[in-house]
Structure 1
C-alpha cells in the first residue's frame, strides 16, 4: 500500500507499507522535496498515460460482489478468502502474490 502525506511547503512524504515475514507490516517513509515531488508526478503521469486501471483481485471482486448483493453467507465466505490471501502475504513475505 502506498500513501502520501503532503506538507505545506510543497514537499511530500511517501509512505510505502509492505508485508514482511511473519505477520509484520513494514513501513518505509521517503521525504521528497517539492521539486522531486513535481518531477515524480510528471513522470508517473507520462508513464501511466493510456494504461488501463487493473481490475480487483479475484478475492476482492468476490468480496465486493457479496457486499453489493447483501448475501451474508457469501460475504462471510468471501471475507475468509480475502483474509487468507492477506495472511499468505504476511506469512511468506509476498511470494504468494
Structure 2
C-alpha cells in the first residue's frame, strides 16, 4: 500500500485551509493510500499498444440533422410580452447603465 502519512494529510489540510480532527486525519490517510494504489494499478495496466479512452463504449453523435421548421415571426414571438421595442423584449434595467 502507498505510504500516505497522517502528517502528509495534515499538511494538505493546512494548505487547503480545512480543519480536520485527529480521527479524520487518520481515516483520510488510509483512504488516500487506497486511492493512490488504485491509480497505480491502472497505470500498470496501461501499455503503449492500448489506446487511451474516456469511455468504455465508443460514442457517436446522436443528434439529429438540423432542419429548419416552422418559426415564429417577431410579432408572434412578442405577442405575449408585457413590453417590446424594435422587435425585442423590453425589460427593466438592472444596472445603472444605458
TM range (shorter): under 0.3
Q: TM-score of the superposition, structure 2-length normalised? A: 0.27
Higher relative contact order (CA 8 A, sep 6+): 1
Considering fraction of residues, name the structure with more strand.
1
Q: TM-score of the superposition, structure 1-length normalised? A: 0.27
